[in-house]
Structure 1
Amino acid sequence: MPDNVRLSAVICSSVGLVFVLSIPLVKFILKRRKSQCRGIDKVGKQLREEEFDLDEGCSFCNSGSWSCVPRRFIDRQTELIRQREKNNQLWAIETEPNLIWESHELLAEFVGAKVENIAIIDNTSTGTNVALKSQKYSPGDKILLCSFAYPAVIKQAEAVVQGNPGVELVLFEIPFPIKGEDDIINAYSKALEEHPGIKITVIDHISSDTAILFPIKALVDLCHKHDVMAVIDGAHTPGQIKLTLEDYGADYYVGNLCKWMMIPQNAAFLWVHPKHQDETKPLVTSHTVYAAHFRDRFYPPMTKDRICHILVKDAIEFYEELGGLEAIAARNAKMVTEAAAMLSEAWGTPHLEVTRDVRAPHMAVIGLPKDLTEAYVNNTPVDLYHDLMKAGVSVRVSSIGEETWCRISCHVWNDWDDFERVRDGVAMLAKNSKMNTGEKIRPPYFVPHSIMDQTK
């Protein structure tokens, strides 16, 4: 080969190699520039318009119930569906397992866990069911729950009791006002001392209707001192507070990814202490039920859409692009605190009697106007919840004690105008209800999880 031809070939080869090697660098630079154009100062209305397909006629201040999914996550989900359908068998046996394993590794780092102790599952109810129903019970055993635990968890415990004669469910009260962590710890301590035989308890990390942040490490230590297994229901925690799962010492920990992490619905995780992994089984028995590692038991080769489980990477990157968990939490906490004060003053109603140190950072609970709640006295909160949504107000409505309360949430798409619309929408509905105080009987189209059996 002539020297000039050989030289040309070497140059072309080198240029081609440089081009190939430069692609990752270019992608990194573009991603870096994109992240630099964001930041915590870009959240709120601007982010809502750029990233979310939200109804302009409604203020979405209820991330604690249903989060809003960024448009980019939906696009990624659609892209993965198309990729799957090009060769769904290759997807099932190779592509999906590799992508889901990557999600496990990234999620474990995000929540402070060892990857071998965590499994991505469908939702927290799946996780608490697994924890409660993987145990062997004997007559005399008891399950301990706080009276304002998540109602679905109470029903799960009732199902265990019904299937195991001689097992008892113990519900105890944490009285208001709650003046700090000691009030919560003392209530649990009293319940454990008064009810010998407690085998297992499910403890909220952040409670749903009351938005209370529980002192998890102290409660886990207290339970273990009484030889009680501690299952932590962290439905509200991932993306709201920084987690260090390995440090808590719990027996089980479950958390949602479809609330504050904004991943499409049916994404959660189950953390299991190594001493319980052998006995932990999925609720559905399938091909992998006898897999050596507990995580593999939750991934049988079956026709189930797990694409949302792959979006962990997207969610974590989105958080980082917006400034990271710490910056997001500080911004949301400040706004929800100010919004709660504004609503309380406008409606002339109190805050739930909980001190700041035990309140969820992104949520607050305020009483609703009496004119409004009195108009719904013959109904459940679901009717009021329904009418508020029709008025363009998406918040949480629940009964705590004999009062009706509003739980607001603040996330990255929320801005001050959302909470002003909540203020005005509730005031308008209260005014209209005062003019028409007859019975409002309407069959609820669904029953939110806060509506407990009134006969209990």
Structure 2
Amino acid sequence: MKPVEVASSVAVGIFSAAGLVWGLQYYSRKRQAAKKAFGRELRQAEYCFAEDFCLCNNGSFAAVPRPILQLQQRLIAERERKPALWYRRQYDPKWFPSEGGHNRYAQAVMAVAEFVGAKSENLVLVENTTTGINCVLQNLPLTKGDKILLTTHGYGSFIKTVQYVCEKTGSEAVVLEIPVPIESEDDIVKLYADALEQHSNIKVAVIDHITCPSAILMPMERLAALCQQKDVLVLVDGAHAPGQVPLNLEQLPVDFYVGNLHKWLFSPRGCALLWVHPSHHDSIRHVITSHSTYAPTLMERFCFIGTRDNIPYYCATAAIKFHHDLGGLEAITAYNASLCGWAADMLAKAWSTEQLAIPAHMRAPFMAIVAVPETDAYPACPESCGKLMGAVFSHSGVIAAFSHFNERLWCRLSSHVYNCQDDYYKLRDAVLQVMQIDQ
């Protein structure tokens, strides 16, 4: 049977647990045989990008490789052949047992838990880190006078979530200003120590593992240990961490950890992890009240929420295998970090600006921040970020992220396995031309 015929037979057959294993093995053998290099060759072989589209911002919505998309589509097809049975197997497994008795959600949880160094009973899968943050903050017993610590480098939706929780509970937000330049990790630790000393009623700290607007790899473990000494709960925003930095969640001095799998770990969008320390299991429920809200375990409470699409979760095992097949974190980091560092140096020189002034070891491995040239057309304000992103894309087909902090506009570029140097030359030229700066 030819490979194309094999793929076709998988598509029309029922995708059982055995079929899932076989499919992953087939695509693994296919990849090993092809021996694709990173960059342009991998983009053409494994991604669905339009020819005129250039993504220099994997850090937002990322891109899903073809094998993972094909698995997602096969699972959708299986669901639609017997939709009622698909959902009944999720809600009523006693009366509608799955083939082989397997629970796809539990299987995905176990695969993700192994990848991030967690016990499966402490981890659940949710749609994204924003959902995870809400599941934590909206279930904490905060009252009037309690305080939540966050920073000026926090992600926008998390800041709004804190604002909402404060309005609902009467608690207060303490926003820690983190100025740049940063000389060392000690600068950050001292800022946190001072804040904890000045505000005695801080109940929970939201700590970024990698900051969104500035791509700073924070000294998360040191900060978490500091908070723990002060009896402050620690909620880590690890949106950019899985697939970009090694994780061993059970060893971290934190209470909660959320992280996306659809940014750097190749899963379909709508897949994230929420890790909960055992001491908090009884108090954490999904933010959506549903049939299993009062179930005894985390797994049961989060497993099935109405007609939510769980298929991105079921693709997590395949996404992790794709990651391993590319050589794992070591090989991916070697390529991405080198490309990202080169691109940041090249852009800063071409734009006559500078990179974010932080220690090299505090830079996110796959992300970099470069100042944008100052022009009257794009003043340093939040409104210019979307305007500049749209103008660059309209001019060149390049998607890049722009952020505003420290009274400057910055370009936050990302590098992933499908990127190559030409992508950043296009970004360089597009920014100069849109800003009407002579090269």
Q: Would the alpha carbon gap of residues 103 and 160 (structure 1) be closer, same or farther in structure 2, given more than 3 Å must change? A: same
Q: Deviations over 1:131-164 (max 9, x none)?
A: 1111112322111111111111111111111112
Among 27, 30, 37, the residue aligned to 1:34: 30
* Residue identity (%): 40
Among 63, 73, 78, the residue aligned to 1:83: 78
Larger Rg: 1
Indicate the residue corresponding to 2:122 in structure 1: 117
Q: What secondary structure does 1:411 align onto?
A: coil
Indicate the residue corresponding to 1:265 in structure 2: 269
Among 302, 312, 327, the residue aligned to 2:306: 302
Indicate the residue corresponding to 1:439 in structure 2: none
AA aligned opposite 2:344: A
> Unmatched 5+ residue regions in structure 1?
1-22, 435-456
State the shift of 1:37 in Å: 3.5
Indicate the residue corresponding to 1:338 in structure 2: 342
> Unmatched 5+ residue regions in structure 2?
1-18, 90-96
Among 359, 363, 366, the residue aligned to 1:359: 363
Q: Contact (CA 8 Å) 1:347, 1:427: kept in 2 or not?
A: yes
Indicate the residue corresponding to 2:5 in structure 1: none
Among 151, 154, 157, the residue aligned to 2:159: 154
Q: What secondary structure does 2:142 align onto?
A: coil
Structure 2 CA distance for aligned equivalents of residues 259 and 80 of structure 1: 21
Q: Contact (CA 8 Å) 1:216, 1:248: kept in 2 or not?
A: no
Q: Contact (CA 8 Å) 1:254, 1:271: kept in 2 or not?
A: yes
Among 398, 404, 407, the residue aligned to 1:399: 404
Q: Where do residues 15-54 of structure 1 align in structure 2 (5 Å cutoff)?
A: 33-37=29-33, 42-54=37-49
Structure 1 CA distance for aligned equivalents of residues 282 and 138 of structure 2: 14
**Is 1:313 aligned to 2:317, yes or no?**
yes
Q: Give the number of aligned pairs.
A: 407
Task: Give the root-mean-square deviation of aligned CA atoms.
Answer: 2.1
AA aligned opposite 1:197: N
State the shift of 1:265 in Å: 1.4
State the shift of 1:29 in Å: 8.0
Structure 2 CA distance for aligned equivalents of residues 120 and 24 of structure 1: 19
Q: Where do residues 408-423 of structure 1 align in structure 2 (5 Å cutoff)?
A: 408-423=413-428
Q: Would the alpha carbon gap of residues 426 and 28 (structure 1) be closer, same or farther in structure 2, given more than 3 Å must change? A: closer
Q: What secondary structure does 2:337 align onto?
A: helix
Q: Contact (CA 8 Å) 1:38, 1:322: kept in 2 or not?
A: no
Q: Would the alpha carbon gap of residues 242 and 26 (structure 1) be closer, same or farther in structure 2, given more than 3 Å must change? A: closer
State the shift of 1:26 in Å: 9.5
Among 185, 188, 191, the residue aligned to 2:189: 185
Among 368, 376, 381, the residue aligned to 2:378: 376
Q: Contact (CA 8 Å) 1:124, 1:233: kept in 2 or not?
A: yes
Among 176, 179, 194, the residue aligned to 1:175: 179
Indicate the residue corresponding to 1:256 in structure 2: 260
State the shift of 1:32 in Å: 5.9
State the shift of 1:95 in Å: 4.3
**Is 1:247 aligned to 2:251, yes or no?**
yes
AA aligned opposite 1:404: L
Q: TM-score, normalised by structure 1?
A: 0.85
Q: What secondary structure does 1:263 align onto?
A: coil
Structure 2 CA distance for aligned equivalents of residues 366 and 200 of structure 1: 32
